[in-house]
Amino acid sequence: MVQNRVTLSWRNISKNIRSHKKSVTQYQTLLNQASLWAHHSTHKLSKNNSLERCDSKTWHC
């Protein structure tokens, strides 16, 4: 009986993991896009002489 319960709960967990994987990958791509955007914006600001270079860690320009 105990082993049956364990396998059932494990099946539920694996189902949940599969359903969550999609949302996790979407979240990761959003994070990647945000970090890329932040990197490029600081890079562009540093190239432009009229704007001071922004610190990516503290977000102070």
3-state secondary structure the chain: CHHHHHHHHHHHHHHHHHHHHHHHHHHHHHHHHHHHHHHHHHHHHHHCCCCCCCCCCCCCC
Q: Which pLDDT band, with edges at 50, 70 and 90, does 61 fall under?
A: low
Contacts of 61 (CB under 8 A, 6+ apart): 45, 51, 52, 53, 54, 55
pLDDT at residue 32 in the model? 83
Number of folded domains in the chain? 1
Q: What is the pLDDT of residues 14-60, one digit of tens each?
A: 788 777 777 878 888 888 888 877 776 665 555 555 445 555 666 55
Q: State the residue range of the domain holding 35.
A: 1-61
Comparing 23 with 2, which gets the higher pLDDT? Answer: 23
